[in-house]
């Protein structure tokens, strides 16, 4: 079963009010949306990955239909970078709370065929969240010069051996699958370093999906549609994402609910790097 990361703490930070309007900017496997509805909120949910909406909308709908039929859930396939437009088109342009739970869900990471996980060796190296647009990770690696790939790895992963890894990747024959990339990394690190695999894969995924820039645009859009007392909550998994949120709040003099980000106390591996920041404008 899918366990959304920091579910209770994240939704507590949203401060859900009966009949309030909320945007779940990252619907995923519907856990957050369901929790908001179970606390009495109406939800507009967005996801860039159409298979997430198709796969999990039924659970969310039936769950809420069973409990409280007056609640609503609207689902939209789209990029949260366009949150202002999507909200206005769906009559959710003055909302009581917005939540972003960044990255990928556990189901997406484990799913075959996209190349998100270093564990699925036979997968093509695609990594696009929206499979209908943009460049795949394989094409990105092919297009970038060695120095650009090095910069990408160093910036997005802070992996110390980024330079050697970029070199090995570029001297390999065209990298098209997960196993091709793992083989190139292994030439730099001759033992299995799952931590390095995870960092390099995440660095590529961030670039392929323009994740940092989407987050900035998402925050800029969110502050235009939030009510004065509404909360914007962001769950991050990467130190650079957290920095973007922190600086955005600071530079605009918005009000953080807590000075320090909320972190998990559960000790679950997948929650360890998660941080929650909540703020109002
Ligand atoms: C960590 S999961 C969310 C899990 C969700 N909170 C739950 O309870 O199941 C992140 C989701 O955000 C989606 N996503 C990633 N980038 C996005 C973007 N720019 N716009 C909209 N959705 C995005 C992913 O497809 C994924 O389904």
Q: Same domain for 241 and 195?
A: no
Q: Is 219 helix (H, G, I), strand (E, B) or coil?
A: helix
What confidence tens digit (pLDDT) does each residue in 214-225 have?
999 999 999 999
**Residue 269 pLDDT:** 67
The predicted pLDDT at position 1 comes to: 44
On whether residue 120 sits in a domain, the answer given is: no
- CA angle, 207 then 49 then 111, to 5°: 85
Domain for residue 124, yes or no? no
Assess contact for 205 and 125: CB atoms under 8 A: no
pLDDT at residue 170, rounded to an integer: 97
Q: Does 31 contact ligand 1 (Cβ within 6 A)?
A: yes
Percent of the chain at pLDDT above 70?
92
- Whether residue 99 sits in one domain with residue 11: yes
| pTM of structure | 0.93
> What is the number of the ligand 1 atom nearest to the C-alpha of 210?
19
Report which protein residue has its CA nearest ligand 1's atom 17: 48
Question: Looking at the structure, do residues 22 and 41 belong to the same domain, yes or no?
Answer: yes
4 lines ligand 1 (CB under 6 A): yes
48 lines ligand 1 (CB under 6 A): yes
**Residue 49 Cα to chain centre, angstroms:** 11
pLDDT of residue 272: 75
% the chain with pLDDT above 90? 78
| Rg for the chain, CA atoms, rounded | 19
Same structural domain, 75 and 89: yes
- Please name which of 72, 65, 67 lies closest in space to residue 44, comparing C-alpha atoms: 72
Q: Which long-range contacts (CB under 8 A, 24 or more apart) does 136-145 make?
A: 136/208, 137/204, 137/205, 137/208, 138/174, 138/175, 138/176, 138/177, 140/204, 140/207, 140/208, 141/169, 141/170, 141/175, 141/181, 141/204, 142/174, 142/175, 145/170
Taking only the tens place, the pLDDT of each residue in 73-122 is 999 999 999 999 999 999 998 999 999 999 999 899 888 899 999 999 99
DSSP calls for 84-108: HHHHHHTT-SSEEEEEEE-S--HHH
What total of structural domains would you count in the chain? 2
What pLDDT score was predicted for residue 267? 64
Q: 183 lies in a domain?
A: yes
236 and 253 both lie in a single domain = yes
Last residue of a domain, one of 151, 180, 208: 208
Residue 112, pLDDT score:
86
Please give the annotated binding residues for S-adenosyl-L-methionine, written as ranges: 30-32, 47, 80, 101, 108
Q: Give the structural domain span for 194.
A: 131-208
Gap between the Cα atoms of 116 and 212, Å rounded:
17
Domain identity same for 143 and 61: no
Q: How confident is the model at residue 56 (pLDDT cuts 50, 70, 90)?
A: confident
* Averaged pLDDT for residues 229-256: 96
Determine the distance separating the centroid of ligand 1 and the alpha carbon of 268, expressed in angstroms: 20
Q: What is the DSSP string of 136-194?
A: -HHHHHHHS-HHHHHHHHHHHH--TTHHHHHHHHHHSSP--BHHHHHHHHHHHSSS--H
Mean pLDDT of 207-218: 97
Please indicate, yes or no, if residue 20 is contained in any of the structural domains.
Answer: yes
| Bridge partners (DSSP) listed for residue 22 | 43, 97
Helix (H) or strand (E) holding 216: helix 211-225
Q: What is the pLDDT of residue 3?
A: 64
pLDDT at 69: 47
Burial class (CB within 10 angstroms; exposed 0-12, middle 13-18, buried 19+) of 185: buried
**pLDDT computed for residue 60 by the predictor:** 65
Average pLDDT, the chain: 91
Closest CA to 226 of 279, 169, 155, 148: 279
Residue 71 in this model has a pLDDT that exceeds 60: no
């Amino acid at each position: 079963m899918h366990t959304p990361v920091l579910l209770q703490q994240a939704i507590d930070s949203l401060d859900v009010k009966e009949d309030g309007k909320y945007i779940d900017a990252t619907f995923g496997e519907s856990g957050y949306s369901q929790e908001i509805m179970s606390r009495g909120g109406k939800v507009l949910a967005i996801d860039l990955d159409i298979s997430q909406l198709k796969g999990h909308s039924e659970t969310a709908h039936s769950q809420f239909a069973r409990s409280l039929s007056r609640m609503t859930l609207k689902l939209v396939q789209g990029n949260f970078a366009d949150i202002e437009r999507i909200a206005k088109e769906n009559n959710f342009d003055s909302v009581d709370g917005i939540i972003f739970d960044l990255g990928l869900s556990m189901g997406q990471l484990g799913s075959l065929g996209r190349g998100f996980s270093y564990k699925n060796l036979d997968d093509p190296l695609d990594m696009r969240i929206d499979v209908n647009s943009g460049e795949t990770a394989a094409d990105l690696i092919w297009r970038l010069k060695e120095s650009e790939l090095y910069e990408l790895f160093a910036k997005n992963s802070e992996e110390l051996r980024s330079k050697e890894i970029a070199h090995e990747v570029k001297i390999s024959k065209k990298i098209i699958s997960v196993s091709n990339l793992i083989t190139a990394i292994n030439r730099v690190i001759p033992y299995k370093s799952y931590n390095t695999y995870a960092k390099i894969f995440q660095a590529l995924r961030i670039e392929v999906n323009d994740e940092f820039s989407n987050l900035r645009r998402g925050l800029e859009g969110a502050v235009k549609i939030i009510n004065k007392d509404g909360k914007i909550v962001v769950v991050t998994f990467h130190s650079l994402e957290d920095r973007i949120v922190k600086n955005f709040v600071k530079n605009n003099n918005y009000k953080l609910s807590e000075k320090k980000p909320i972190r998990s106390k559960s000790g679950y591996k997948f929650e360890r790097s998660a941080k929650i920041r909540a703020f109002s404008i």
